[in-house]
Amino acid sequence: MSSLRSIPTLDDVARAAGVSTATVSRCLNSPDRVIEKTRIKVMAAVEQLGYTPNFGARAMAAKRTFTIGAIIPTMENAIFARGLQAFQEALHARGYTLLVSSSGYKADVEAEQIRALVARGADGLLLIGRDRDPSIYEFLQHRSVATLIAWTFEKGSTQPSIGFDNHAAMKALATAVIGKGHQHIGLISGIIEGNDRAAGRYAGICDALRAHGLDATAMPIIETPYEVENGAAAFADMMQRTPRPTVVMCGNDVLAVGAMKRARDMGLRVPEDVSITGFDDIELARIVTPELTTMHVPHRDMGQRAGEELVNMLEGTSAGSVVELECALKLRASLGPPPA
């Protein structure tokens, strides 16, 4: 906060309430340990003066600011929304406030936001995926900011994280697709560079193809940002390829929903003329007609456990663990056998 503003201090509150600063501090940090009458008196003074527990008071008293930052790639399209909501609820239950930034999938913007959140006093950070400049991890370590990575799991990593194996999950989905008889898969992927989740999903499909004696290098792939319109445009492009894919696998549900919309506009029936699959199982997947075959990511569970783990790290009851969550294949009507 700018020190040029007139800011009421802990002393001011103590004086107004006629108690010691230690009592004010206790009211703010451990209200259970203060009798109600005193607490009411103190909180009335807090309210009246417009006092905000801050770096000079609550933070110093508790060595914490009770603020957690999260930086997500995008606020649009609800990809991260459900997990983040659960994360916030878990933090709230433990007395922490969440501040969120979105980077637009841009590494430099994310780096700037990490610095801003640290400057604003974040005790801990939730970051999505592990691909970023090592200097960022050094900076966070140097500043003692507890950091948890989510949405990704890497075997052997020691970085505290909670996520799922994008590679294995997409391999399982591709195996189901191939099991329906498809040999010509087209992939509409998110931008792979700088996105370990997108890279893992692509590699998972290639693995499944190879395991079935199919040529992964022949698979047509279009990389495009995760937007409905981009999925639609990429689908139209994919339908021009020779041989025409009998199934279009998409890097997430947002792209898949765009592909379905375009298929409908082009007069193609899903799955009779072409099958379409997604990844994430966000709400969209069951809103479209037909419902979307996809890989269910446990967003709520991941967000909630991330919140609890990060608070435990901050409070010293966890050194930061590496947690893998299971995804679940959702076979729905958008996937059928290839057309005869």
Locus of tokens 């239950």: 93
> Binding to its own copies by residue 65, rule CB under 8 A?
yes
Cβ 126 to its own copies shortest distance, Å: 13
> Binding to its own copies by residue 273, rule CB under 8 A?
no
> Binding to its own copies by residue 77, rule CB under 8 A?
yes
Count of beta carbons in the 10 Å neighbourhood of residue 5: 6
Which of the stretches 29-37, 112-120, 158-166, 326-334 binds its own copies when contact is defined by CB under 8 A? 112-120
Q: Are 80 and 72 in contact (CB under 8 A)?
A: yes
HSE-CB at 220 with a 13 A cutoff on CA atoms is 19
* Distance (Å, whole) CA 83 – CA 90: 11
> Binding to its own copies by residue 113, rule CB under 8 A?
yes
Q: Which is nearer to its own copies, 123 or 281 (CB)?
A: 123
> Binding to its own copies by residue 47, rule CB under 8 A?
yes
Q: Which is nearer to its own copies, 83 or 204 (CB)?
A: 83
DSSP state of 30: -
> Binding to its own copies by residue 135, rule CB under 8 A?
yes
182, 207, 293, 337 from 243: Cα distances, Å: 12, 21, 23, 16
Among 12, 41, 76, 94, binds its own copies (CB under 8 A): 76
Residues 6+ apart with CB under 8 A from 204: 166, 167, 168, 169, 170, 171, 172, 173, 174
Which neighbouring-strand residues pair with 149?
A: 127, 161
Question: What is the binding site for its own copies (CB under 8 A)?
Answer: 1-5, 47, 50, 52-56, 59-60, 63-67, 69, 74-78, 81-82, 84-85, 88-89, 92, 97-102, 104, 109, 112-113, 115-121, 123, 135, 138-139, 142-144, 228, 257, 261, 264, 283-284, 286-289
